């Protein structure tokens, strides 16, 4: 039987869980692709293609491919690391719930605001829990605090949020929430069930 000290040492030595999510900083691109996709569907239905000429569908598909090729440079992959439980709790207490959102009312805090704080969280040892993957490197987006002398500081996290589409921002919130709440709850339940089966 391992001692409490052994369990703490093993947990400290283990790497913290993390999840990656890729988004595009070109929200207009997703709207353009959506419009072209509708055009592609209509072109396939009309089937008005002349012998020897490019098909209507192939012309629209080429437009879609061109838009996607331009958008490749706008892709950003972010890596989020699970916060210590006590620090996650502190962040939730800083974010009052939106009374119009059922999940916020149920949890007692704003999920969106908490996840935004978690993305740029820095612990007392100077470790960051949100990064952008740049090749083989992890970089930390700049996020200066609001001060009297700097009322409109640089915040690259907020800049990125404003440049991406709604579904992509939602994917970031869902990823951070899953990492810090959903996944730990499911893991604990699975381990407890397994433990109970061993003693049954």
* pLDDT, mean over the chain: 83
Say what the pLDDT of residue 11 is: 75
Has residue 50 got a pLDDT over 60? no
Has residue 49 got a pLDDT over 70? no
pLDDT band at 189 (very low <50, low <70, confident <90, very high): low
Has residue 107 got a pLDDT over 90? yes
Has residue 19 got a pLDDT over 50? yes
Dist. CA 112–CA 174, nearest whole Å: 9
pLDDT digits (tens, 9 = 90+) for 108-152: 999 999 999 999 999 999 999 999 999 889 999 998 888 888 888
Dist. CA 48–CA 173, nearest whole Å: 44
73-to-29, 68, 124, 144, 165 alpha-carbon distances in Å: 12, 10, 34, 26, 16
Per the DSSP assignment, residues forming a β-bridge with 134 are 137
66-to-11, 40, 56, 75, 191 alpha-carbon distances in Å: 48, 14, 16, 15, 48
Dist. CA 16–CA 128, nearest whole Å: 12
Dist. CA 95–CA 108, nearest whole Å: 9
Which is higher by pLDDT, 145 or 192? Answer: 145
pLDDT band at 51 (very low <50, low <70, confident <90, very high): very low
Please answer whether residues 55 and 49 qualify as being in contact, where contact means their C-beta atoms are separated by less than 8 angstroms. Answer: yes
Has residue 186 got a pLDDT over 90? no
Say what the pLDDT of residue 131 is: 97
Which is higher by pLDDT, 60 or 173? Answer: 173
Please answer whether residues 132 and 141 qualify as being in contact, where contact means their C-beta atoms are separated by less than 8 angstroms. Answer: yes
pTM above 0.85, yes or no: no
């Amino acid at each position: 039987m391992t001692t409490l000290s052994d369990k703490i040492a093993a947990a400290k030595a283990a790497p913290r869980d993390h999840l990656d999510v890729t988004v595009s900083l070109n929200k207009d691109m997703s709207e353009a692709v959506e419009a072209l996709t509708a055009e592609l569907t209509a072109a396939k239905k009309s089937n008005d293609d002349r012998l020897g000429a490019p098909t209507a569908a192939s012309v629209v598909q080429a437009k879609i491919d061109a838009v996607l090729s331009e958008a490749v440079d706008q892709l950003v992959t972010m890596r989020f690391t699970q916060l210590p439980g006590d620090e996650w709790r502190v962040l939730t207490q800083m974010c009052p719930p939106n009374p119009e959102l059922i999940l916020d009312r149920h949890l007692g805090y704003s999920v969106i605001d908490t996840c935004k704080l978690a993305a740029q969280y820095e612990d007392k040892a100077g470790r960051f829990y949100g990064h952008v993957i740049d090749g083989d490197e992890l970089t930390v987006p700049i996020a200066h605090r609001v001060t009297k002398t700097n009322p409109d500081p640089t915040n690259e996290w907020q800049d990125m949020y404003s440049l991406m589409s709604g579904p992509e921002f939602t994917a970031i919130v869902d990823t951070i929430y899953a990492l810090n709440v959903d996944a730990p709850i499911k893991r604990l339940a699975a381990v407890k069930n397994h433990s109970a089966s061993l003693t049954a």
